Every structure is written in C-alpha cells, then in structure tokens.
Amino acid sequence: MSRLLVTGGAGFIGANFVHYWLRHYPHDRMVVLDALTYAGNRASLAPVERKSNFRFIHGDIRDQALVERLLKEEGIDIIVHFAAESHVDRSILGPDTFIETNVLGTHSLLKAAKKTWIDASHVPFHRFHHVSTDEVYGTLAPGAPPFCETTPYAPNSPYAASKAASDHLVRAYYHTYGLQVTTSNCSNNYGPFQFPEKLIPLILINALQGKPLPVYGDGYHVRDWLYVEDHCRGVEQVLRQGRVGETYNIGGRCEKTNLEVVQTLCSLLDEMRPRLDPRSSDLVSYVSLLTFIKDRPGHDRRYAIDPGKAMTELGYRPQESFESGLRKTLAWYLENENWWRSLLDARYEGWIEAHYGAKTTNATPSLLS
Ligand code: NAD
Ligand code: TYD
C-alpha cells in the first residue's frame, strides 16, 4: 500500500489523477494539498471526499513546516507534484506568482522531502515525482523532430521559464542529496475538469454561450494534444517502473493546428448540440463564431513531443485518439454544466475582460462564411 501526497490535486490534471489513482488503487492513502487558487476547485474532488482513505488539506506548497508535518503524520512515501501556476497568458500579465509557486514552491517541497525522508528519519523507498511541461524545450520549426528528453531547454514564456527552473532544482536534489526523483514533461492536456481559460474548455464554453471563439494570430500554431487520462496513466507508469533520476516525455503523438482544434470542436458540437441561429431559427454551425484576435507575445509556433522513451521502457501507450478524447471531453462538459457555470463569476469575467477586452479582432471572411 502506498501513501501519496498529491499537490495541486484540486486543479485540472491533479483532480483527474486523484480519481484515476483511487479507481486503480482503492486502498492507497491519498492526501491532497492545494491552495485553492482561482484554478483550484474542490467540487472536482467531490466524488472522493467522503472516502476514509482520502484527506484534503487547504494549504500552500511554500509552507515547508506544513508539508513536513503532513509527510510525517501521514507516513507519506510518494509525492506527486502537480501544483503550479499553469497558464501562459497569465504569466505574461503577471510573472511573479509563477516564480513564487513554481520555483520557490517546488524548492520548498524538495526541502521538506529531503528533511523528512533523508535527514530526519531514513525512508529508504520514497519518490518525488515532478510533473512538468514540454514548453521548457521552447519552440520547433516545421518539420523539426519532436522534443525528446535530451533536447536542450529553451523556455520562452515566464511560465515555461519557471517550470524549467523547477525541473533543474528537482534534478539537483537527486544528484546532490540522493532524493529519489522522477520528472515527466508532457504536452497539452485536455479532458474533464479543465478550467475555461485554456483553449479547449474556453472554446467549448464560449460556443455553448454563443460567444466569439478567439483564435490568436493566424491559427497555425501547433500543439500536441494528450487526453488527460492518458497522461495520468503515463505518470502511474513512471511511478511504478520509471528509473530514479530519469525524465520521461509523455505525449499523444497528436499534432494539430489551433484552427484544426477549433474546427473539430465546432463539428462535434454541431452534431452533439445543434445550434439555432437566434435571428432566423435556422441551424447554423458554431464555426461562424470563430474570431481571429491579436497574437500572444512570444507565442511558440509548434510543440511536439516524442514519447519513445516512455513507450520503450515503460510500455506507455496513449489510448485515446484526438476525436475519441474530444468526444469524451465534450460529453463531460455537456453533462456537467453546473461544474463550469459555477466558475463564470466576477473574478473569471475580470480575467476575460483584462485579457481579451483590449485585443482587436481581425476576422478572416473565408473561414467565417
Ligand atoms: P491547474 O492550473 O489546473 O491546477 C493547478 C493547481 O495547483 C490548482 O488546484 C491550484 O489551486 C494549485 N496551486 C497553485 N498554487 C499553489 C500553491 N502555491 N500551493 C498549493 N497549491 C497550489 O494546472 P494543471 O493544468 O492541472 O497542471 C498541473 C501540472 O501539470 C502543472 O505543474 C503544469 O505545469 C503541468 N502541465 C500542465 C499541462 C496542461 O496542458 N494543463 C501540460 C503540461 C504540464
Ligand atoms: P493554451 O490552452 O493556453 O495552452 P499553451 O499556451 O500552454 O499551449 O493554448 C493552446 C494554444 O491555443 C496556444 O497556441 C494558444 C492558443 N489559444 C488561442 O488561440 N486562443 C485562446 O483564447 C487561447 C486561450 C489559446
């Protein structure tokens, strides 16, 4: 039986991981530590809150004393570290919290783990698993091979730079102090429980409300999409079979331009929730809401990840195709309208106004017709 501390477990991937883990290992002890920032949502954990082997702690990863107490009190032997500020656009408007949580917060966790597992009482088998991103590798030219574990780091946004710094600290704690660490760098995730500031849930929720679907720049930026449950399985495999001190790239081998993503979502919505034109009452495709807006500064053109090492060493295989994963995601958002409607409060509207309000639109008529 394992005893896990999951940081950021009320966020998108963390919550999916908690559900995934407790489905597969129903007797493990699971403690979630989450500061409940705008991105944290306790409702995402509702299905497990009453389990006797589950505990939620509202707290900050930078509170080293709290983390040390939890590690001791709960006899934790595995930390799975998801907690982070995770949105590139917010990091452009305000980088400070990214440095505080992603860099200083990760360092604080590492210190707590080292003190408890190595310095104070020897815990011979422990694991600090750090969840990171492909964005640390920078941007790829068209046709360049996907990122692999030996691709040099070249982060371009404050978010990516803060994650790169945290990856280096995790590595240093392994080499210097012998902390038993693993790191996974994954591509863009999508699926249930994702906060509607990232592309896929934002487009879904705007479409369902008849609002514009904002696409940055020319829409030909490429991301490599991964269904969140495939990511959770990848992390499980790294925890179970990964070699200590190693990094594993986890991706879906699913490169799409942003335009392809938005158009596919619109087609699925047309099928699953047909839309009536409010003026004529005729059926009209959601794609008519697509709107090009001013590009993100320093916008990375292409990400693509090579999961070959995880596939060879761990037997990792993503199970969802883009279409099957999107269908599941869309079905979840349609069935869980209460979950996402409760997020559309004044704080959320403030973000939408601050970020999108000032951006000029430059619609491309050929796409809108
Ligand atoms: P998210 O923003 O949805 O959730 C982050 C969670 O961390 C929230 O619950 C928040 O309350 C919590 N948190 C933030 N600061 C905290 C602090 N100081 N102390 C404790 N909790 C804090 O993020 P996500 O999309 O679930 O991403 C999880 C991890 O995966 C992050 O480390 C992110 O960098 C990484 N990642 C995400 C993606 C993606 O596509 N979403 C891709 C690659 C890597
Ligand atoms: P996002 O979901 O923010 O993830 P990341 O920046 O970490 O890749 O964005 C995914 C892609 O979608 C990225 O190229 C930016 C683009 N995008 C839009 O075109 N419009 C939007 O409103 C958002 C949020 C993102």
- The predicted model gives 266-271 an average pLDDT of 97
Q: Which atom of ligand 2 is nearest to the CA of 89?
A: 3
Task: From 19, 33, 37, give the residue whose CB has the most ligand 1 atoms within 8 Å, as the site to mutate.
Answer: 37
Task: From 5, 6, 7, 13, give the residue whose CB has the most ligand 1 atoms within 8 Å, as the site to mutate.
Answer: 13
pTM above 0.85, yes or no: yes
Q: Which ligand is nearest to the CA of 300?
A: 2
List residues with catalytic annotation: 134-135, 159
Q: What b/e readout covers 78-111, taking b as 16+ CB neighbours within 10 angstroms?
A: bbbbbbbbbbbbbbbeebeebbebbbbbbbbbbb
Task: From 86, 199, 364, give the residue whose CB has the most ligand 2 atoms within 8 Å, as the site to mutate.
Answer: 199
Q: Which ligand is nearest to the CA of 299?
A: 2
Segments in the chain forming alpha helices (H): 12-24, 64-73, 88-93, 96-98, 106-113, 158-177, 199-208, 228-241, 258-272, 308-314, 322-335, 337-341, 346-356, 365-368
Question: What is the H or E stretch that residue 31 is in?
Answer: strand 29-34
Q: Is 196 in the pocket of ligand 2 (CB under 6 A)?
A: no
- The predicted model gives 7-12 an average pLDDT of 98
Q: List, for residues 161-186, the tens digit of each pLDDT value.
A: 999 999 999 999 999 999 999 999 99
Pocket of ligand 1 (CB under 6 A): 7-8, 10-14, 33-37, 39-40, 60-62, 82-86, 101, 105, 131, 133, 163, 186, 188-189, 195
Q: List, for residues 49-76, the tens digit of each pLDDT value.
A: 999 999 999 999 999 999 999 999 999 9
Res 277: pLDDT: 86
**Cα-to-chain-centroid distance, residue 165:** 18
Give me the DSSP letters along 157-194: SHHHHHHHHHHHHHHHHHHHH---EEEEEE--EESTT-
Gap between the Cα atoms of 227 and 122, Å rounded = 38
Residue 123 pLDDT level (bands cut at 50, 70, 90): confident
Q: Is 223 in the pocket of ligand 2 (CB under 6 A)?
A: yes
Res 116: pLDDT: 97
